[in-house]
């Protein structure tokens, strides 16, 4: 299973890093930030040569953007039992680069939801479906859309406002975890939607970009239109990747 093919330049960065750190294990994070993919090298603070621990301070700055945890193995071509245990614990896939065979493998947690890093496909993988899938991961079923046309805001339609009016959500003034955010991005009608997380961050999927967690400021807050809260029980915080 691979959510999207990794660009060759990302694989090249990972390979170069792995060989640079040999015989120690290299480690880093493949990130999706503002809808763009990158590889960020990290410091391995493990005291063992054939193990890795990403520097906690470095990882804390990248955790919201993390799509793949990366490290290298000097021999073999299979993940260790510890690798499998850890990726299932943190709920983020591992990419392991095998120096001996010059290959790599990507390994996914059990029941991985794969909400981060999806390519944009209108009607299948877009802002609306990202919100529906996020709520589904939190055991809330949002009704499917009606027959939307692409670029509806250019044709005078207001699909987001009309559909949300039929959902079990109530408009509120200040967002908390799990609230729906709607935006009017340089348009008189709402043409984007996301889910508020914490600390002015939200999950969304913008046109021609990958789905990601992004800061509200400085760009998105300017276009924020409405905030909606689920009428049922409070949204339980849980792993949603």
Query: What does the mean pLDDT of the chain come to?
Result: 91
Residue 5: per-residue pLDDT: 65
Class of domain 8-107: alpha beta
Rounded to 10 degrees, what is the CA torsion of 210, 132, 175, 157?
90
Percent of the chain with pLDDT over 90: 68
User: What's the mean pLDDT in 76-90?
Assistant: 92
Residue 137: per-residue pLDDT: 86
pTM, whole model, 2 decimals?
0.79
Residue 2: per-residue pLDDT: 45
Every domain of the chain and the residues it spans? 8-107, 127-230
Domains 8-107 and 127-230 share a fold: no
pLDDT tens, residue by residue, 148-160: 999 998 888 999 9
Q: Which two tokens stand for residue 146?
A: 């009606």
Residue 19 near residue 99 (C-beta atoms within 8 A): yes
Residue 1: per-residue pLDDT: 43
User: What's the mean pLDDT in 60-84?
Assistant: 92
Indicate if the pLDDT at residue 213 is higher than 50: yes
Residue 176: per-residue pLDDT: 95
Residue 3 pLDDT grade (very low, low, confident, very high; cuts 50, 70, 90): very low
Give Cβ neighbours of residue 217 (< 8 Å, ≥ 6 apart): 200
Residue 40: per-residue pLDDT: 97
| CA distances to 148, 158, 204 from 238, in Å | 31, 32, 17
CATH assignment of 127-230, given 3.30.56.10, 3.90.1720.10, 1.10.10.10, 3.40.1190.20?
3.90.1720.10
Determine how many CB atoms are found less than 10 A away from the CB of residue 31.
21
pLDDT tens, residue by residue, 91-134: 899 999 999 999 999 999 887 877 898 999 999 999 999 999 99
Residue 205: per-residue pLDDT: 97
Interatomic CA distance for residues 63 and 236, integer angstroms: 20
Residue 7 near residue 30 (C-beta atoms within 8 A): no
Residue 49: per-residue pLDDT: 85
pLDDT tens, residue by residue, 38-57: 999 999 999 998 899 999 99
3-state secondary structure the chain: CCCCCCCHHHHHHHHHHHHHHCCCCCEEEEEEECCEEEEEEECECCCCCCCCCECHHHHHHHHHHEEEEEEEECCCCCCCHHHHHHHHHHCCCEEEEECCCCEEEEECCCCCCCCCCCCCECCCECHHHHHHHHHHHCCCCCCCCCCCCCCHHHHCCCHHHHHHCCCCEEEECCCCCCCEEEECCCCCCCCEEEEECCCCEEEECCCCCCCEEEECCCCHHHHEEEEEEECCCCCCCCCCC
């Amino acid at each position: 299973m691979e959510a999207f093919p990794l660009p060759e330049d990302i694989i090249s960065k990972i390979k170069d890093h792995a060989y640079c750190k040999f015989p120690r294990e290299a480690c880093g994070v493949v990130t999706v930030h503002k809808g763009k993919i990158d590889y960020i090298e990290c410091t391995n603070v493990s005291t063992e040569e054939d193990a890795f621990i990403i520097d906690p301070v470095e990882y804390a700055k990248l955790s919201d953007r993390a799509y793949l945890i990366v490290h290298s193995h000097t021999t073999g071509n299979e993940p260790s039992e510890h690798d499998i245990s850890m990726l299932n614990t943190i709920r983020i896939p591992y990419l392991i680069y095998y120096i001996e065979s010059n290959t790599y493998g990507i390994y996914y947690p059990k029941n991985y939801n794969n909400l981060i890093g999806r390519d944009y496909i209108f009607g299948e993988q877009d802002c609306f479906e990202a919100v529906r899938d996020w709520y589904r991961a939190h055991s809330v079923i949002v009704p499917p859309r009606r027959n939307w046309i692409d670029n509806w805001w250019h044709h005078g339609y207001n699909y987001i406002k009309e559909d949300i009016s039929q959902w079990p959500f109530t408009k509120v003034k200040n967002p908390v975890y799990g609230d729906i955010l709607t935006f009017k991005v340089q348009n008189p009608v709402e043409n984007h939607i996301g889910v508020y997380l914490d600390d002015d961050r939200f999950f969304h999927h913008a046109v021609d970009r990958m789905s990601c967690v992004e800061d509200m400021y400085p760009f998105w807050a300017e276009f924020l239109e409405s905030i909606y809260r689920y009428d049922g029980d409070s949204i339980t915080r849980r792993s949603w990747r």
